[in-house]
C-alpha cells in the first residue's frame, strides 16, 4: 500500500500539531468569547447611545485625519527613502521606523515633551499663536499620526522599490518632467501599495491607545476615542465595553478583508 504509506509519511508531527492547535485556540477563543458575551438584543439601542456615538465619531474623524496627514508627509518620505541618493539614508530609514517598535506610551511622553506648554515647539506655539496642543483633539490626531505614519512609509517605500523605474524613464522621453512623472506615472503605478499602506495606517490609528491617553488625555467628546472608551467602560459598564470592542473587531476584520482582496488582486 504505497499510497497509504505516503499519507502517513506526510502526516504533521504531533510535536508541531499540538502547540499549533493550542496557539490557534489561544488566538481565537477570546474573540469567540467576546462574541458569546455580546448583548445582541440590546445592541442597536446601545449603539445609539450618545456617549458611544461620540467616541465612534471622534475615532473615525481623528483616524482619518491622521491617515491624511500620513499620506501628505509619508509618501514624500517614502519617495526620499526609495529614490533619494544622499548620505545617511539608512539612518533616516531607521529613525522613521522607530515608532513601529517604540511603546506608544513613550511616544506620548515624547510628544508631550515637545508640544507641551514647556516643550520647545509647545512654548513657541503658545506664545506666538496662543495655541495649546496637549489634551486637545489635535493632540489625538498628532499622537495617531506619530504611531501610524511609519506603517504607510514602509508600505509605500516597498511599493516604490518594486516599481520599474524604466516606466519613469519612458515618461521622461515623452516629455514629462520629474513632478509630472511622479503624479502621472509613479503614483498610479504604486497606488495599490499606497492604498494598502493607508488602510494599515488607518487601522493602526483607530486602535491607538497609549500615546493618545498620554498626550491627549481622556476627555469624552474631545479626546476620548474608542479604545479609551473601552478601557473606561470596563470599570463601570462591562456591556458597553463589549459593544465598543465588537465595533473595533468588526472594523479590523473589514480592514483585513479589504487588504486581502487588494493583495490577491495585485498578485
Partner 1 sequence: MSTPGAHGLDAHLVVDRGTFRLDLRLQVAPGETVALLGPNGAGKTTALRALAGLEDLSEGHIALDGVVLDGVVPDSAVPDGALPDRPRGGARWVPPEHRRIGVVFQDYLLFPHLNAVENIAFGPRRRGLGRAEARALAAEWLDRVGLGDFGKRRPGQLSGGQAQRVALARALATDPALLLLDEPLAALDARTRLDTRVELHRHLAGLAGPAVLVTHDPVDALMLADRLVVVEDGRAVQEGDGESVTARPRTDYIARLVGLNLYRGTASGRTVRLASGEVLATAEALEGDSFAAFPPSAVALFRTEPDGSPRNTWRAVVAGVHRHGDHLRVQLDGPIRATADVTPAAAAQLGLEPGQEVWAAVKAAEIRAYPA
> CB-wise, 161 or 222, nearer to partner 1?
161
> CB-wise, 124 or 167, nearer to partner 1?
167
> CB-wise, 130 or 164, nearer to partner 1?
164
Q: How far is the CB of 159 from partner 1 (least distance, A)?
A: 13
Where do contacts with partner 1 occur on this chain (CB under 8 A)? 164, 166-167, 169-177, 180, 184-185, 188-189, 191
Q: How far is the CB of 260 from partner 1 (least distance, A)?
A: 22
Q: How far is the CB of 165 from partner 1 (least distance, A)?
A: 10
CA proximity to 151, closest of 91, 211, 100? 100
CA proximity to 105, closest of 223, 214, 230, 226? 214
> CB-wise, 136 or 180, nearer to partner 1?
180
> CB-wise, 29 or 174, nearer to partner 1?
174
Cell numbers placing 83:
529614490
> Do the Cβ atoms of 196 and 186 come closer than 8 Å?
no
Q: How far is the CB of 255 from partner 1 (least distance, A)?
A: 24
- Distance between CA atoms of 36 and 43, rounded to whole angstroms? 13
State the first-to-last Cα distance of the chain, in angstroms, to the nearest integer. 40
Using left for φ > 0, alpha for ψ between -120 and 50, and beta otherwise, residue 131 falls in beta
- Distance between CA atoms of 209 and 74, rounded to whole angstroms? 21
Q: How far is the CB of 154 from partner 1 (least distance, A)?
A: 23
> CB-wise, 143 or 185, nearer to partner 1?
185
> Do the Cβ atoms of 223 and 108 come closer than 8 Å?
no
Q: How far is the CB of 196 from partner 1 (least distance, A)?
A: 16
Alpha helix stretches (DSSP H) within the chain: 2-10, 14-37, 43-47, 50-83, 89-101, 104-115, 120-129, 137-162, 165-173, 178-181, 187-189, 191-206, 210-215, 226-236, 238-266
> CB-wise, 90 or 173, nearer to partner 1?
173
Q: How far is the CB of 163 from partner 1 (least distance, A)?
A: 11
Amino acid at each position: 500500500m504505497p499510497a497509504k504509506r505516503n499519507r502517513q509519511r506526510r502526516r504533521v508531527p504531533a510535536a508541531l500539531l499540538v502547540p499549533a492547535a493550542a496557539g490557534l485556540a489561544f488566538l481565537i477563543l477570546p474573540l469567540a468569547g467576546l462574541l458569546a458575551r455580546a448583548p445582541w438584543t440590546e445592541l442597536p439601542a446601545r449603539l445609539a447611545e450618545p456617549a458611544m456615538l461620540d467616541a465612534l465619531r471622534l475615532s473615525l474623524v481623528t483616524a482619518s485625519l491622521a491617515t491624511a496627514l500620513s499620506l501628505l508627509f509619508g509618501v514624500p518620505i517614502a519617495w526620499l527613502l526609495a529614490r533619494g541618493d544622499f548620505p545617511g539614508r539608512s539612518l533616516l530609514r531607521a529613525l522613521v521606523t522607530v515608532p513601529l517598535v517604540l511603546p506608544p506610551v513613550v511616544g506620548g511622553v515624547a510628544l508631550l515633551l515637545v508640544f507641551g506648554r514647556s516643550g520647545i515647539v509647545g512654548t513657541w506655539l503658545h506664545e506666538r499663536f496662543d495655541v495649546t496642543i496637549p489634551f486637545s483633539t489635535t493632540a489625538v490626531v498628532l499622537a495617531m499620526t506619530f504611531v501610524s505614519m511609519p506603517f504607510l512609509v514602509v508600505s509605500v517605500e516597498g511599493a516604490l522599490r518594486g516599481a520599474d523605474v524604466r516606466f519613469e524613464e519612458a515618461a521622461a522621453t515623452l516629455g514629462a518632467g520629474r513632478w509630472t512623472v511622479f503624479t502621472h506615472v509613479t503614483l498610479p503605478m504604486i497606488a495599490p501599495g499606497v492604498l494598502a499602506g493607508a488602510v494599515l495606517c488607518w487601522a493602526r490609528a483607530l486602535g491607538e491607545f497609549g500615546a493618545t491617553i498620554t498626550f491627549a488625555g481622556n476627555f469624552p467628546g474631545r479626546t476620548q476615542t474608542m479604545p479609551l472608551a473601552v478601557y473606561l467602560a470596563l470599570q463601570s459598564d462591562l456591556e458597553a465595553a463589549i459593544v465598543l470592542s465588537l465595533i473595533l473587531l468588526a472594523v479590523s476584520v473589514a480592514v483585513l478583508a479589504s487588504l486581502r482582496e487588494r493583495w490577491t488582486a495585485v498578485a
